[in-house]
Structure 1
Amino acid sequence: MSDLMNFGYEGKAAVITGSSKGIGRETAEQMVKLGAKVMLVARGETALKEAADELSQYGEVAYIAQDITEAGAGETIVEAVIKAFGRLDILVNNAGSSFAENFEDVELSDWEQDIDLKVMSAVKMSKAALPHLKKQGGAVLNLTAVMGKTPQPNSLPTTVSRSAGLALTKAMSKDLGKYNLRVNAVCIGLIRSDQIEKRWQKQAPDLSWEEFSARSGEKIPLGRIGNTAEAANVITFLCSDLASYVSGTAVNIDGGSGHAW
C-alpha cells in the first residue's frame, strides 16, 4: 500500500501558470505538500506574493510575475525555474479565461487573443520547457474545458481554443512519449471560481453557497458545482508517478455533465 501511495513528487520541480488563485493555486498547494518545488506564474505580483507566502509553510515555492502571451515569456519563466530549483519535471499549462459569444458577435481580435492565450501560450511554454523535461522524463498537463469536446451555441471562441488544446495534447503525447514524457489534459466543467462567486453575489446573495450550488447544478448529474480541490486532485494525480502509464488522455472534471467521454 505504501508503494501505491507514493506520488513521487519528492525532489521534483514544477511550474504552474495561472497559479495565484483558483485551480492553479490549489494544485500548487497539493504538489508542494507532496514534496515538489513549485514555481508560481501569473500576471499580478501582489496575488502571487500572497500565494507564495502562504504556500512556503509547506515547502519550497518561488514565483515570477509574467504575462505568458508576451514574446519570450516561456524562456523567461523556464530560466527562472532552473535558476531557483536547478531542474524542471512538471509543466501545468493552466492560464486561461472564459470568453464565449455568438459567432456573429466575436471580433477577429477576440479570436486572436483567445487562441494566443489558450493555445499558443501552452505551445510556447512546452517548447521552452522541453529541453529540461526530456532529461529525466516528466509530465505536461494542459487545462481545457468540457465544451471543447462538444461545443454548444454561443460558445466561441473559447470552445475552438479548448478543442485545439485537446488536439495539441494528443499530438504531443504521440511525439514526446519516446522521452518518457507524458502529456495529458483535464476538461473543466462548472468549478467554483471568482467568476462563479461574482455570479452568486449578483444573482442570489440571499442564498447560501450550498443552496446556490445546488440550484446552479440542477442539470449536473452530481447536483452541484465542483470545487477547486476536486479539480486539483485529478491534476496532481495525472502529473504524479501514480499515473506513470497514462498519457494522451483528457479527463472530464464536470460532475458528469459532459456529453462526451
Structure 2
Amino acid sequence: MDLGVKGKTALITGGSKGIGLQTAIVLAEEGANVVVVARGEDALRGAAEKIKKETGADALAVAGDVTSDEDVRRVVNEAIARFGRLDIVVNNAGTSAAAPFGVVELSAWEQDLDLKLFGAIRFSRAALPYLKENGGAIVNVTASFAKTPGAASLPTSVSRAAGMALTKAMSRDLAKYGIRVNTVCIGLIRSDQIEKSWKQTAPEQSWEQFSRDPKHDIPLGRIGETVEAARVIAFLVSDAASYVTGTSVNIDGGKAPAL
C-alpha cells in the first residue's frame, strides 16, 4: 500500500531510538522527509546514519529539548529551512516514571507533565502554521495504562491520560484546517528499558523466552517489536487514514482492559 507520504516532511520527537527512530525509518522508506529530534547529539548522529543506511534517505537530525520553548522554535525553523514544509508531527518524547502517589515529589510531577504533555503542546503549537498549509497530521504517543491506571503508576499514567484528552480536544479544534490528531497507546514494546528489565530479571532467558513469558499477561503471547508500533503511527499520519481523527489505538497485544 502506498501511504501517500512521499515528499511530505515528518518531525519526530524522541527520534534517536526506539519507536521514534523506527517510525522515522518507516516514513523514510515511504518517501517522506524525516526530522528526528532528541537531546543527545551523539545518539542523533547515530540515528541519522541508521536511517540513511536502511532507507537511503538523508534525514535531518536536530538536537533539542522539548521542554524548551526556544529549542522547539529552533527545531521547527530548521525543518522548514531544510525541507520548506512540515506536514506531520509525532510527539513521542518521554520516559517512564512510575511510583506510588505518596512518594512522588511535586517536582517529579512538574517534570513529567512538562516533558510529556507540554512537550507535545509546544511542538504542536510551533508546527501549527505549517500544518495548516496542507492539512497535516499529529500523533501523540501515550500509553494504554493511561486508560486504566494502576497502583504505583504515577506520575506517568496521569501525564499520558492528559495526552489522550489533549488529542481529543485538538482533533475537534483543528479539523476545520484539515489537520488530523490521533494517539497511539503503547503497551509492552521492546525498548532499552524493557531490555534492561530482561537482562536484570531473567538473564538466563533468551529474548524470545522472555518476550513470551506468561507473566507479562499479553493475550497475543509476546512483547511487541518497535516496528509494529511504528507501522501503526505511520498509517495514522498518512493519507491512508485520511478519515481518522480524534481516536486512540492500543498497541499492546490486547493487554489493556479498555478499548
Tell me whether the two structures share a fold, i.e. TM-score over 0.5.
yes
- Partner residue, 1:166: 164
Provide structure 1 residue ranges, at least 5 long, that are not aligned to the other structure: none
Structure-2 separation of matches of 1:95 and 1:56? 22
Cα offsets for 1:100-146 (capped at 9, x unmatched) = 11000000000000000000010010000000000010100000001
- AA of the residue aligned to 2:37: V
SS in 2 for 1:56: helix
- In the TM superposition, residue 67 of structure 1 has moved relative to its aligned partner by 1.2
Structure-2 separation of matches of 1:172 and 1:166? 10
**What is the TM-score when the length of structure 1 is the normalising length?**
0.97
- Partner residue, 2:246: 248
**What is the TM-score when the length of structure 2 is the normalising length?**
0.97
Report the aligned-residue RMSD.
Answer: 0.9
Question: Of the candidates 29, 44, 50, which is equivalent to residue 33 of structure 1?
Answer: 29
Sequence identity percentage = 58
Structure-2 separation of matches of 1:212 and 1:10? 38
- In the TM superposition, residue 80 of structure 1 has moved relative to its aligned partner by 0.8
- AA of the residue aligned to 1:117: L
Structure-2 separation of matches of 1:229 and 1:68? 24
1:13-52 paired onto structure 2 within 5 Å = 13-52=9-48
Aligned residues: 257
- AA of the residue aligned to 2:177: Y
Query: Is the Cα contact below 8 Å between 1:15 and 1:41 reproduced in 2?
Result: yes
- In the TM superposition, residue 205 of structure 1 has moved relative to its aligned partner by 1.1
Structure-1 separation of matches of 2:24 and 2:216? 31
1:83-162 paired onto structure 2 within 5 Å = 83-162=81-160
- Partner residue, 2:195: 197
Query: Is the Cα contact below 8 Å between 2:64 and 2:72 reproduced in 1?
Result: no
Structure-2 separation of matches of 1:15 and 1:75? 13
- In the TM superposition, residue 204 of structure 1 has moved relative to its aligned partner by 1.1
SS in 1 for 2:213: helix
Change (3 A) 1:217 1:143: farther
Provide structure 2 residue ranges, at least 5 long, that are not aligned to the other structure: none
- In the TM superposition, residue 248 of structure 1 has moved relative to its aligned partner by 0.2
Cα offsets for 1:80-110 (capped at 9, x unmatched) = 1001111000000000000011000000000
Query: Is the Cα contact below 8 Å between 2:65 and 2:72 reproduced in 1?
Result: no
Structure-1 separation of matches of 2:83 and 2:69? 24
